Amino acid sequence: MIIVLKPNATTNQVEQLNETLKTYNVEIKRWDGVHSTVIGLLGDTHTVDIEQIGANLAVESVKRVQEPYKLANRKFHPDNTVIKVGDATFGDGSLTIIAGPCSVETEAQIVEVAERVKAAGAKMLRGGAFKPRTSPYSFQGLRADGLKLLLKAKEETGLPIITEIMSSSHIDLFEDVDIIQVGARNMQNFELLKELGKTNKPILLKRGLANTIDETLMSAEYIMAEGNLNVILCERGIRTFETSTRNTLDISAIPMFKMLSHLPVVIDPSHAAGIPQLVEPLSMASIGAGADGLMIEVHNCPSKALSDGAQSLDPDTFDGIASRIIKAHDQGFSYRYNV
């Protein structure tokens, strides 16, 4: 249930309202937005008397929220959530590019890629240390050693880092990681989501291979319900009948997420397409539809990559693509969802 306060509500009136709300067995959250103040009631609200609340002089409107996600819901939090890590900002209208290899392989590899993507305009470095591979016989990542190499690249370049977690038993290892990624295959690993909700790290939550927009928002809700409100949604392509691309990028997910939620949205065109030639057009389409960021796979030598070389860009190609995307965004090619 959400209660929107009148802009001119007095402190006395708001206090009276709070007293009324405390008589119900619900959690009370308050957001002071730029345009309005919203009070959200979470939990079992069916006993809450809408008319009694609406009669309070501080209240402009009160309504029940049908959607099962509350904290992630735009209705509870009309302003965009803005998440900042180092020079990378998500959700304030800027475009933030995250780039790096699928997997961290060696110190020389990750440091070289970090330097090249930084020079091209990327604001964050990606690189998998714990890899969710379809086959148990494929390269599984350097695991804890990979995290150390990512930290080395961060030290060398100053770029904040993002990397995927696969088990809550590894959370302590991620202490110096700037954003923790939850991969598509773990989007509904609810125990992992709950544990990440107890941390204060920003979480990039990838949409599952065959999950709906509502299911993705419910997974965000799992993290937020534990107290961590710093969630970034990531569309990375979904399974369809189409086989010419690795997945099908759901461009509609961008305006849908923006309409339904206040959380920032990042697009991963590399895993969506599976081929490097589609990274630029899909990136352009994404910023045109209002994405807050892009996450792109770049390898110093894609033909020798230990994972996802076939979809990775080499640094020279990334350089050209990043500059064209950044230029287009700077020139105003970016859809702004009107709150």
Please give the residue ranges that form the binding site for ligand PEP (CB under 6 A). 102, 128, 132, 183-185, 206, 236, 268, 271
Residue 183 binds which entry of ligand PEP, Mn ion, none, CB below 5-8 Å type-dependent:
ligand PEP
Please state the closest distance from residue 308 (CB atom) to Mn ion, in A.
Answer: 4
Distances (CA, A) of 299 to 32, 175, 212: 43, 25, 31
DSSP run (H or E) holding 293: strand 293-297
Q: How many residues bind Mn ion (CB under 5 A)?
A: 2
Please state the closest distance from residue 307 (CB atom) to Mn ion, in A.
Answer: 6
By CB under 5 A, tell whether 308 contacts Mn ion.
Answer: yes
CA distance 290 to 254: 7
Residue 184 binds which entry of ligand PEP, Mn ion, none, CB below 5-8 Å type-dependent:
ligand PEP
Please state the closest distance from residue 209 (CB atom) to ligand PEP, in A.
Answer: 7
Q: Are 153 and 161 in contact (CB under 8 A)?
A: yes
Please state the closest distance from residue 154 (CB atom) to ligand PEP, in A.
Answer: 18
By CB under 5 A, tell whether 253 contacts Mn ion.
Answer: no
Nearer to ligand PEP, 50 or 310 (CB): 310
By CB under 5 A, tell whether 268 contacts Mn ion.
Answer: no
Nearer to ligand PEP, 78 or 160 (CB): 160
- Closest-CB residue for ligand PEP? 183
**Among candidate residues 269, 276, 261, the one with its CA nearest the CA of residue 314:** 276
Nearer to ligand PEP, 19 or 191 (CB): 191
Residue 70 binds which entry of Mn ion, ligand PEP, none, CB below 5-8 Å type-dependent:
none
DSSP 204-249: EEEPPTT--HHHHHHHHHHHHHTT---EEEEE--B--S--SSSSB-
DSSP 99-162: EE-SB---HHHHHHHHHHHHHTT-SEEE-BSS---SSTTS----THHHHHHHHHHHHHH---EE
Please state the closest distance from residue 311 (CB atom) to ligand PEP, in A.
Answer: 10
CA distance 166 to 181: 9
CA distance 247 to 185: 14
By CB under 5 A, tell whether 105 contacts Mn ion.
Answer: no
Q: Segment contacting Mn ion (CB under 5 A): 41-49, 94-102, 158-166, 320-328?
A: 94-102
CA distance 330 to 296: 19
By CB under 5 A, tell whether 102 contacts Mn ion.
Answer: yes
| 4 three-class SS | strand
- Interacting residues with Mn ion (CB under 5 A): 102, 308
